[in-house]
Amino acid sequence: MTVAIAADHGGYPLKEAILAYLREQGIPARDFGTTDTNSVDYVPFAEQVAKAVAAGEYTFGILCCGTGIGMAMAANKIRGVRAANCMDYYATRMTRLHNNANVLCLGARVLGVDSALSFVEAFLNTPFSGEERHTRRIQQIQDLENETVGAASGRPQTQ
């Protein structure tokens, strides 16, 4: 397992705590930045991590900003990325178990470090269930990415 991680200025302190945790666990991680709390745009950081995960260079990505919302929105624009903004432990487990998410987004201004680290642990250690219904739903997401509609994707067409 390998992890790509990045943050904007608002998520920088949380990113540093997560990097320390990953090191303690012996999990290889690459820090894509930022390197301090000076104001930066989050989109380029989300893009770098999402593209690296989508390309298969890293197993998972972790993105931190103030709320996790902006990072998730940006990362989900990259084909092959299923980024989830998680604010509780249950949702974090379910996003892996049912949705096979590959990027975890966390909000440094809405989560405590202890909670965030428990979410990271859950995300990295919860396997995808592989159940047919979940696999089918993930395929439907991929179909949306590929702009297939109607009968080709098994979804009803809307008029």
The catalytic residue among 9, 64, 65, 105 is 65
Give catalytic status of residue 64 as yes or no: no
Distance in angstroms (rounded) separating the CA atoms of residues 90 and 72: 18
Give catalytic status of residue 86 as yes or no: no
The catalytic residue among 9, 64, 86, 98 is 98
Active site residue ranges: 65, 98
